[in-house]
Structure 1
């Protein structure tokens, strides 16, 4: 079971549901260790005084906020006492349609699980969110920091997804972007029609398990190769060949779209000819059953 990161209660209206917060995601990436060149000694993160480089023990570190050119030291208890309720409550301040929240605002997902006595209100909120197709907008304090959050219902769990504050989402206005609409790049109706058709041809149900971290696999293949060749401690100077950057001319756009459409049609035709594993298995069972009857 995932570790408990926070305990408190969901509050909406006059209803309260005691809950615990658990991570809903995990890191699945290569862990690169830092080593000193030559000796290959492990290099770690250290707590040091910035001015002197002197190491500081964990117990000798305190939290402080700079105010009027001075530091004001605060203990964890003092921080919590500033607003006791906010540190123990997921306070739902409103509900909205999920599609109205720009994806740029979403940060980290967590599972919420009911604790003793909170099951009924938990289920009530989950089912009401599913029925109304709404998400809850809430405030929560974690790790001495207040977060804006979205409460999203799934058939089994309520997910709390932290959100960025509006001030943390940068505006694209400073970028040199084409104008809105087709006039932004003088698109031809035929080009847009073909691009739309290509998107429709390539559309499929969302199945996250079909996507793999191929870069991670390539790195691990390189690690195995160097190890098996006895070159584990060798630092190779390799000049990677960058693929040539293809910049299609505007007059080639329609032709590239046409070729892409042909490729997508051929792929779909090939996929339709090969039945899924379950279908192949069922067909085999039916064939064997037919033979046994005759």
Structure 2
């Protein structure tokens, strides 16, 4: 089943007097896992805030303008300033050249967009597609997208017109590596061996056969941690907060309340044991107890479930496993449990002696 796409731009292709109404869609998407940043001690979400360095207030996007600094002075440009530029409202993809396809260096290519025909009749779209296919040429175009004038290439892929953004000529760097001008001689045998090696790997390009193995292993690692219960309460640590409580102080208070409630539930509300644990193990103990002090063996199982692959994390020593950042979150919980038990035993001895 095809994934629904959202158009990011609508306008028309123009070449001569021909007008082709189209909508543009991003041709590619990333498959990487998205991560949040959290505090390694308690798993609390790390948030970044936009604060003014003059008044110290937190600023919303609607009150943020862009500025250019030349070293001594700063010029502020508002949304109205950008909208006043002639090219800002241009909704045309203007064809300026039809060139042989092999004349465009692939290093100039950027992001690609699928173009969908619009209007009552797609005849002009089909005509342009046919012309490009018959002549084996690529249309060099100019267009405006997100307040920028861009250079692009218009070509055919299967039955669809594809707009491929291109770098401007002055954006492509010129390089001069001294080693590339070396006069080192390459022998005949070396050439033959190299040619034979290339011949062994010769094949037609089949992109679907390639797989992002890093992301596959990362998914396995995340799934293994979820299955073994090595997770945090999303509502307590990742939940969205309101504008009124989005400040750093409010977030710390909410997290501390969740930790204290978890400790009280785990220890049956015994304040004496709770105080003894906090004084012994500190913040990291509280964060680990919030996850109900799962056995440290679960991390070992997690490591086995992930196929024993090295994930780049540091070993956590005697705890038997580590999280994705290489920091152990279970060892403090163990010390907290022992301190709580010792606190209960000492209290029991005092009661007996009394």
Q: TM-score, normalised by structure 1?
A: 0.70
- Residue 282 of structure 2 is matched in structure 1 by none
Higher strand residue share: 1
Of residues 54-63 and 12-21 in structure 1, the stretch that sits farther from structure 2 once superposed is 54-63
- Residue 73 of structure 2 is matched in structure 1 by 69
Which stretches in structure 2 are left out of the alignment for 5+ residues? 233-298, 300-311, 317-354
Separation (CA, whole Å) in 2 of partners of 1:158 and 1:236: 45
CA apart distance, 1:200: 2.5
Separation (CA, whole Å) in 1 of partners of 2:185 and 2:56: 58
Which stretches in structure 1 are left out of the alignment for 5+ residues? 240-294
Of residues 93-102 and 14-23 in structure 1, the stretch that sits farther from structure 2 once superposed is 93-102
Of residues 86-95 and 135-144 in structure 1, the stretch that sits farther from structure 2 once superposed is 86-95
Larger Rg: 2
- Residue 115 of structure 2 is matched in structure 1 by 112
CA apart distance, 1:6: 0.7
Q: How does 1:179-198 map to 2 (within 5 A)?
A: 179=181, 184-198=183-197
- Residue 63 of structure 2 is matched in structure 1 by 60
Could you tell me whether the CA contact under 8 Å between 2:87 and 2:144 is conserved in 1?
no
RMSD across aligned positions (CA):
2.7
- Residue 100 of structure 2 is matched in structure 1 by 97
Tell me the SS of whatever aligns to 1:34. Answer: coil
Separation (CA, whole Å) in 1 of partners of 2:56 and 2:315: 35
Q: How does 1:149-228 map to 2 (within 5 A)?
A: 149-173=152-176, 175-179=177-181, 184-228=183-227
Tell me the SS of whatever aligns to 1:42. Answer: coil
Tell me the SS of whatever aligns to 1:35. Answer: coil
Tell me the SS of whatever aligns to 1:197. Answer: helix
Separation (CA, whole Å) in 2 of partners of 1:193 and 1:45: 58
CA apart distance, 1:220: 2.3
Could you tell me whether the CA contact under 8 Å between 2:88 and 2:147 is conserved in 1?
no
Residue 237, structure 1, aligned to residue 314, structure 2: yes
Separation (CA, whole Å) in 2 of partners of 1:238 and 1:105: 44
CA apart distance, 1:86: 6.2
Could you tell me whether the CA contact under 8 Å between 1:18 and 1:118 is conserved in 2?
no
Could you tell me whether the CA contact under 8 Å between 1:12 and 1:91 is conserved in 2?
yes
Could you tell me whether the CA contact under 8 Å between 1:18 and 1:117 is conserved in 2?
no
Q: TM-score, normalised by structure 2?
A: 0.59
- Residue 290 of structure 1 is matched in structure 2 by none
CA apart distance, 1:142: 0.8
